[in-house]
Amino acid sequence: MSLIFETIPTEGVAEISYLIGDDEEGTAAVIDPRTDVEIYPELARAKGVAITHIFETHIHADIVSGARELCDRVGTAKIYASQEGGATYGFATEPVKDGSEFKFGDLTITARFTPGHTPEHVSYLLAEADHPELPWGVLSGDSLFVGSAGRPDLLGEGETAKLAALQFRTLREFYLKLPDSVIVYPAHGSGSPCGAEIGDRLTSTIGFERAFNPFLQIEDVQAFTQHCIKTAPPIPKYYPRMKKVNAEGPKILGGLPRVPALTVAQFKTALEKGDALLIDTRSMFAFGGAHIAGAINIGATPTLSIWAGTILDSETPLLLVLEKDGELDDIVRLFLRTGFTNFAGYLVGGIKAWGAAGHPFEQISQISVHQLQAANGTMQVLDVRTDREWKGGHIPGARHIVTPQLEKRAGELDKSKPTAVYCASGYRASIATSLLRRAGFENVMNVPGSWHAWKEAGLAVEKDNS
């Protein structure tokens, strides 16, 4: 017998799922699958196992669950989900209770009720079948992270104190009672908004977390609750929608959503109808050099998933401009992870074909940090980073509006003044400049390198001491 244990990170949303099984028995389970599920059957075939179980640790808020899609693809699996805490689902599930056991050859997986991040949350202990009382690992879901813990505030202010108390109890009465040697396998890594400042490593141990995790050091529930609230990152706009979608059951697609290939003439006609959003997924430099009027720039990096969920309406059809037509499937997967399935089409041949057809395009200037400094206060400088980043230091005289709030707060800025926008690297600033251009700001500039370049150049820094 050989244990099958595969870790599947999903970049951008910082989600982690797992394939676990036994190659002698030929069975395996997937824990917390993402919605683009092709990777799981491929891995199972490579390892010589069949996926028979799909476990959900909780109702996810950050991505579309792939449980139903995977169940449909493999045809031989069942979905196992907790109904504790009053959780209900709009699709067939097998109930998981505290203490439920599942065997995969010599591996025993035991469910443990670990509420706090959500009311129904369960974790899964991993142990040898001969020694189920001595676990060697725990699939902690969104309950315990490396250096952090699952946030308890996603169900609204009225539920936060109650969930924080449950989370406090879960950490102290379950996790801290496990042996130091137990390996922690969380459902998220660094960069996920599901927890505060999650560590860079994908795994840890109970012993390490006992010694260094700040959420495990607090012994008073009120102090713990305040720490949770104070350190939690802003809740992304799409989280409540994801909760609803995952509880009701995401639609089974049977593959990637259809995205029609449109010629320049067809694309222009689709644009003129006015019922679709134009999204340009090229880099900030390519977008700045030439883009179709009205386009929103969300570059084709893994974080596209989060930014699409944060600033776009999932019901509005999307028209796409790509760097290369061959990137389409990869980009659609990024949109799919936060629930975007409605595509009006993509521009065949991209911006090059658009320009060759004689159609107009717009540009957004790129300004270096040295040029920005030389402007010496004649520009309106906008910082679109998070509150935490802003407080750590910013360009002197800058205004501060975080990117997700920009469309609502653009009226606070002066449209008549030249406006330079920066973030940490320029990615968010390019999103912001495209939003400002759509809002009627004619003279708007992106700062490539942004805050990183400003600091590397040794330029003056201002700090907010409030």
For 181-220, the pLDDT digits (tens) are 999 999 999 999 999 999 999 999 999 999 999 999 999 9
Interval 137-183: pLDDT, tens: 999 999 999 999 999 999 999 999 999 999 999 999 999 999 999 99
Same domain, 56 and 142: yes
Q: How many domains does the chain have?
A: 3
Same domain, 201 and 67: yes
Write down the mean pLDDT value for the chain. 96
Same domain, 316 and 339: yes
Same domain, 231 and 265: no
**Cα angle at 436 between 435 and 439, to 5 degrees?**
95
CA distance to 131, 212, 280, 309, 387, per residue, from 363 (Å): 65, 49, 13, 25, 29
Q: Residue 465: which pLDDT band, with cuts at 50, 70 and 90?
A: low
Q: What is the pLDDT of residue 432?
A: 98
- Location of structure tokens 């009027």: 293
Q: What is the pLDDT of residue 2?
A: 85
Q: What is the pLDDT of residue 1?
A: 56
Q: The tokens of 404 are what?
A: 């997700």
Last residue within a domain, chosen from 192, 215, 248: 248
Residue range 28-56: average pLDDT? 97
Q: Say if 464 falls within a structural domain.
A: no
- Domain that includes residue 407, residue range: 365-456
Alpha carbon distance 77, 52 (integer Å) = 4
Residue range 237-254: average pLDDT? 96
Pairing outcome for strands 148-149 and 15-22: unpaired
- Checking if the pLDDT of 381 tops 80, the result is yes
Q: What is the pLDDT of residue 456?
A: 96
Alpha carbon distance 296, 313 (integer Å) = 13
Last residue within a domain, chosen from 199, 223, 248: 248
Q: Say if 135 falls within a structural domain.
A: yes
Same domain, 190 and 278: no
For residue 152, which of 87, 230, 89, 208 has the smallest C-alpha distance? 230
Residue range 340-348: average pLDDT? 98
Same domain, 284 and 187: no
- Checking if the pLDDT of 121 tops 70, the result is yes
For residue 454, which of 335, 343, 373, 380 has the smallest C-alpha distance? 373
Specify whether the CB–CB gap between 184 and 209 falls below 8 A: yes
Residue range 303-328: average pLDDT? 97
Last residue within a domain, chosen from 356, 376, 404: 356
Specify whether the CB–CB gap between 144 and 209 falls below 8 A: yes
Q: Say if 331 falls within a structural domain.
A: yes
Alpha carbon distance 71, 73 (integer Å) = 6
Interval 56-105: pLDDT, tens: 999 999 999 999 999 999 998 999 999 999 999 999 999 999 999 999 99
CB atoms under 10 Å from CB of 351, counted, come to: 22
Q: What is the percentage of the chain residues whose pLDDT exceeds 70?
A: 99
- Checking if the pLDDT of 466 tops 90, the result is no
Specify whether the CB–CB gap between 71 and 93 falls below 8 A: no
Single pTM value for the model: 0.94
Alpha carbon distance 31, 162 (integer Å) = 27
Q: What is the pLDDT of residue 342?
A: 97
Q: What is the pLDDT of residue 132?
A: 85
Same domain, 327 and 408: no
Question: Quick one: how far is CA 161 from the chain centroid?
Answer: 25
Query: What CATH number has the domain bearing residue 228?
Result: 3.60.15.10
Query: What CATH number has the domain bearing residue 348?
Result: 3.40.250.10
Q: Please return the burial class of 400, using the count of CB atoms within 10 Å of its CB with bins 0-12, 13-18 and 19+.
A: middle
Q: Say if 463 falls within a structural domain.
A: no
Same domain, 9 and 104: yes
- Location of structure tokens 């801290």: 176
Q: SS3 of 263, please? A: coil
Specify whether the CB–CB gap between 79 and 68 falls below 8 A: yes
Same domain, 44 and 70: yes
Alpha carbon distance 122, 328 (integer Å) = 36
Q: Say if 192 falls within a structural domain.
A: yes
Q: What is the pLDDT of residue 464?
A: 75
Q: Residue 376: which pLDDT band, with cuts at 50, 70 and 90?
A: confident
Residue range 400-406: average pLDDT? 95
CB atoms under 10 Å from CB of 135, counted, come to: 22
Alpha carbon distance 171, 225 (integer Å) = 13
Q: The tokens of 69 are what?
A: 């899609």
Same domain, 134 and 44: yes
